[in-house]
Structure formats: C-alpha cells, structure tokens
Chains A and B, each alone.
Chain A
Amino acid sequence: MTRRALVVARWEFLTTITRRAYIVALVATPLLYGAVLGARVFAARVTSQGATTQAIAVVDHARVLDLAFASEQARLTPSPAERTDAEAGASRPMELVAYGEEPRALADLRARRVGAVFVIDAGYRTTGAVTVYETDSGLFGVVVGERRRARIADALRASLMQGTVSGDTFVRAYAPMAHAKSIQMDAQGRLESARTGLAVAGPVVGSFTPFLLLTMAIFLSAGYLQQATNEERHSKMLEILVSSLSTDDLVVGKILGLSAAGLLQVAIYAGLLLVPTLNLFGLVGVPLLKLLLSLTYFAIGYLLFACLMAGTGMLGRTSQSSAQLSAIWTLIATGPTFVLPVLIAAPNGVVARVLSYIPLTGPVTMMLRLAVTDPPAVDIVATMGIGLAAIYVTLRSMIALSRATTLMYGQRPNLPQLMRWLRQA
C-alpha cells in the first residue's frame, strides 16, 4: 500500500462521515433502537407485574388447603416458583383467595378481579382432580399459567404435609433442592463452583460481541461501500482517478476509508451499548485468547465483505441495483445465524465445521463457535488461512473489475465478460 492509497482512504473517510445521511443515521439509529427497546421493556414489565400480582381464586371442595399455613411456608422457604416470581419483579407473590362456590369465582375471573380459578375436586385426595379456569392471555400467558400452577402446587404440598411430617423433614420435603450446590468441571477436568446468572452471561456475551459487531458492521458499511463505488462510477470520476494513481491503490484506499467510516459508526454504537454494561456482564472475564481470536475473525470477515461490497457497487447500473446485489452478501454473512441452534448444540459438529471452512460463512461461524466452545486448533489455523486467501483473491478480482468497469459507464458487464476479467485478475 502506498501513500496515495492513504490519501484516497482519508478522502473517502472524511467525505463519508461529513455526509448529512451519515450523521442523521448515526444519531437517529440509537435513538430509534432506544425508544423501541424502552417501550418493549416498559410493556413487558407492566404485563409481568400485572400477571404475577393478580390474585388466584381457589374453590377447595376437598378442604385440603390451609392457605395461611401455605403462605407462611412460602415466606420461610421460597420454592423455585416463588423465587421466579421475585425475579420477575412482582412486588408481592400471587395471593391465593378462597372462594366458597365456583359461580362467584368465575364471575370475578370474568371481571378480571382474579387471574385464574382453581377448583379442587371433592375427591382430590384420591383422584388428584383439579380444574383450572383462565382467561386467554396469548403466548406469554403460558409462562404466567405455569407460575400459577406451581404456586397452587406449593400450597397443596405444604397443606398435605402439615401434621404428617415436621421440622427439617418438612422443610426438605417442601423444597428439596433449596440449598443445592453446583460444581462445574472445565475442559481440563478441574472442578470449580458453577457460575450462575451474570457470571455465566458475561463471558458468553463478551464472546458474542465481536460476532454481533461484525454483522452490524457489515450491514452498516455495506451501504457506504456499494453506494460510494457506484456513485463514483456514475459521477465519472474514476477515469480521472485512475490517470493519477494505480487501480490497486484506488481500490485499497476506498475500502480502507469507507470501512473506517462504517467501523466508526459501529464503535460509537458499541461504546454506547457496552460501556455502561461492562461491570454488569463482567466482560473482563472473557478469556483474552478467545477475544483476540474473535477480533481476528472480525477483521478477516469485515475485509472480505468490504471487498465484495465495493465490487458490487461497481457492477450495478444504479445505486438501487447495487443495493439489491449487495443484499446477497449480507444474507450470506448472517447465514450461520439461521442454524444457530445447531451451532450451539454441536459447536464442533459437522455443520459447524463445514460452515467454518466456507470463506463467506467462516468468520461468523468461528466467532459463534468461540463463544460457546473451544474449537480444535486445526480449524482455527485452517479457517484463518482460508479467510486471508479469500481476501487476497477477492481484492485482486475487485481491482480487475474496477479497471474494467472504468470503461463501461452505465453498462453492466455480462457474465462472460465478468468471468474473463476475473480470470485476467
């Protein structure tokens, strides 16, 4: 790379980041996402609180329930169901209200004064029959319904054991796993206390971050890269430029400058998102080697797609047609996410390894694998080599394409022409 390539890179970077469209997108995108996220969190919280704090009507024909005793046990030894209620943000656990007859309980259900009606059959002790009446709460009602059932089950368990067992035996029988301790064995066979909650989420989120950034960067930079090359082709500047510097320097400079503009946008968003959550997710807990490997794959993936986007911009007759063509690359880049469950379930399986060895899906797949496992060293070395080779071949092809398309204003090359140029590259 020569000084001229850096001159081009500087120009492309500065002209892009001072564009009105870039600045508007930079400011508007986080505001829009923030508004959508805020609305979603608010709605979820309101819905959750409403569902979990609404009382449950109990019509106990079997007379097995001692609601006062059950409530006291729930306070002393919270079962998993009660702990879930607390974590869901409910200000108080679901209250159980005794009703003498079903019609009144059902009337209150219709009036939404209670969330559900549980009718315990007179022969419950022998049949176990319970009838549950609930309003249709859609998909999310299933979770709340499960919590109500767990709450009633806890109350029935406490009431049935009352007077039968006592002391520690009662406590163990009521919440047998309340004090369970988890030990985790690592890849080297060492034992350590299992991490839970945020301690687990931190490194995983940290490992996923480069993957998320890459897909975001590809989406954001794609527009700049294909738009800038397409505009330049149609503004007829290319011929002036290639009379002043080599096509190699021009293409490399453009890719560097426009990629830097896209990465600046990603870096700002990443800063906005990650800095406030660094302590929360414990990103410092991400193994350094994995982080470095992920960032290397990020660089390989980004450069590969940047070359492809720039080339696509040169091929299209208009910005719109280039955008349509470039959608192919963004689709392929995010392709591995369509088989995400398979990759997470078997990160070193056949699907994961095949996708890793394909240049276009390799970087994203490897970042996903690094997030959930330790891929074999041979995969890491081979996929990096394939990625670097793919960048070189793509860059040479883009340079040949740029040279050829300089002479073809307003025309799109046909397939035989395209193949001839690429062979010449």
Chain B
Amino acid sequence: MAPLPIRVDAISKQYDHVVALEDISFEVRPGEVFAVLGPNGAGKTTLVRTILDIIRPDRGRVEVFGRPFKPEDRDRIGYLPEERGLYLRQSVSEVLSYLGALKGLTQRDVRSRLSTWIERFELGSVVDRRIEQLSKGNQQKVQLIAALLANPLILILDEPLSGLDPVGARLVSSVIAECAAGGQAVLLSTHQMGLVEALCGRLFMLARGRCVLYGEVPTIKRTYASDVLFVQSDANYASSPCVAQVESVGHPDPGAMIRLRDGVSAPEFLRWLVASGATIERFERRSTPLEDIFVQVVAEQQRARQVHT
C-alpha cells in the first residue's frame, strides 16, 4: 500500500498563551481534494505551515509520504499561501523560471512546463510583462502556476479562487479536479463552500485550534440534513396535519419550503399529499448547504466557549 501523502498525528502548537492547534489528527489520501475549513484565526495557516515544516509542532508528528518531513519533500509539494506576493518588477516568465529553479527544475524543464501552463491559464499575451502590470486575477493565475510548475505530488492551496472572475474560477476549479484525478493529493483551505461541495470528498474543520468536524462531505451533510422539504404542487399545505410551517418561494423555482411537525416523516407527508389528490410536480428533501453547516458549527463552538467561560 502506497504511503499517505500527508498524515497529521495528534499535533499541538501554542504561541505564548494562545493555543493555535490542539491534538489535531487527519490524513490526506492520494487523488483526493481534502478541504481544511475554519473561521478566521482558527489555526488553518499554522496547520499548513506545520505540514510544510515551516513551523515545528510542540507535540505530535507530521508525516509526509509515510515518514517525517525531509528537505527534498519541498520539491514534491506545491504551495499557494494565504499571504502571497510576487516580485512585482520582474516579468512573469522571469519570476516563474526562478521559482521553478528553486524547485529543482532545469531551465529546459521550466521552459516546457511553463509553456503548457501559460497556455492553459491563457496568459500567453502577458508572459513578458512585469507582474505589476497584470490584473489581480492574472497575478493569482501566475501564483497558481508557481505552485503547479514542479508537478508536485501534494498541492496545498489556500484560497485558490481569490481575485478570480467566474470564468477564471471555473478554469482553476477544473485544474484542481484534474490534478486530483491525476493522483495528486490536494489540500484546499478556503471559505468558498461552493468550491468544497463541488470538489472535495472529505473535509476537516477547525475552530480555535481544535477539530470540530472531520469526515466525508456527503456523510457530514447527511448528519446535518434538515427536515425541510421542497414541494411543487397545487395542494393546500395548511390543511395538512403533518405540516408545521410553510414558506412560499418564488425563485429560482416557485414552490413551497415545508417544515414537518415533530415525529412526522417525509414518506408520511408524501402519502397525505397523494391522498389529497393534488398534482405533484416536485417533491425533494432539501440538504443543508455546507455554508449553513459551517455557520452552525461555528455558532455552536462560540456558545460552548461562552458557557465554558
């Protein structure tokens, strides 16, 4: 069995009197896009820096490819940090050639890979321009190319869609999906829940340095699924003994959001609906968006902290 690209085992880190990470454990598998979520200040950046051996944990261990981090692992990890910048006075090709050389690539390798990525990210017209002359979105693409250039086995991307327009965001999303499909392990740190739902198989959520959610995205969504139904029909919902609350919605699809009374299941309500003789066009259980789960978990953590203090 191939070693796991990343395995974090019970790590803790404290700055002065602030707990940045406490007993954090997870793993990232090859070929998956793994999300690390958390509110601002939750410890995500510290966690990523610990994986990259920029910070050493106080306790616990981080394994990369089945063993402790080695200097040569830097060539096998592509990193797009949250706090990012570029050399503004140099051209796109100069900066990328330099960063490629730092990853151990020869000039020949850099040239061939650069032309592929430049074409993929549609930067051919600006490749000889200075970075400061580029739009924010194009600068973001350059930074992504820097992370991808060495064809790393592990990709760590912190807010990769920042500054991109919808077309650019879709392009980058597809590149991330392709990387995972090609066997690369992608660790994605983002606040864009849509991206997580679209790309990630598993997620890990931090709050104040502690793990508050960890697992498969569909499982987590099922766990936090609500009892809200979306129904399109001509029935009079208010007359149903199953319904606790009805809210009409007009956009994008006209219909009703229905919350059932305690103890009533969705099949029971469906049976009532059929029996009422109504014409039913649509009947579905609405899953809770990841964003709502995120907000709910963070709110629970804050309440728990207030009670604790």
Q: Which residues does A use to contact B, with CB under 8 Å?
A: 4, 7-8, 11, 15, 19, 235-237, 239-246, 403, 406-407, 409
Contact = CB atoms under 8 A, between A and B. Distances in A.
Contacts of A236: 81, 83-85
B74 interface: yes
Contacts of B89: 15, 19
B233 to A, nearest CB: 55
A364 to B, nearest CB: 34
24 contacts: A4-B102, A4-B104, A7-B101, A8-B102, A15-B87, A19-B89, A235-B85, A235-B86, A235-B87, A239-B49, A239-B54, A239-B81, A239-B83, A240-B81, A240-B84, A240-B146, A243-B52, A243-B77, A243-B79, A244-B74, A244-B75, A244-B102, A407-B49, A407-B54
A244 B55 contact: no
B98 A7 contact: yes
B54 to A, nearest CB: 6
* Residue with the highest number of chain B CB atoms closer than 10 Å, among A8, A19, A242, A409: A242
B173 interface: no
A279 to B, nearest CB: 43
B103 A244 contact: yes
A235 B52 CA distance: 20
Given A235-B88, A243-B74, 17 more contacts: A8-B102, A15-B89, A235-B85, A235-B87, A236-B81, A236-B84, A237-B85, A239-B49, A239-B83, A239-B84, A240-B79, A240-B99, A240-B146, A241-B102, A243-B79, A245-B102, A407-B55
Contacts of A242: 52, 54
A237 B54 contact: no
A244 B87 contact: no
Nearest to B84: A236
Contact of B102 (A7, A19, A403): A7
Contacts of B86: 235, 237
Contacts of A8: 102
Contacts of B143: 240
Contacts of B232: none
A240 B145 CA distance: 13
B250 interface: no
A21 B103 CA distance: 30
A290 B55 CA distance: 47
Contacts of A240: 79, 81, 84-85, 99, 143, 146
B87 A243 contact: no
Nearest to B16: A417
B166 interface: no
B196 to A, nearest CB: 23
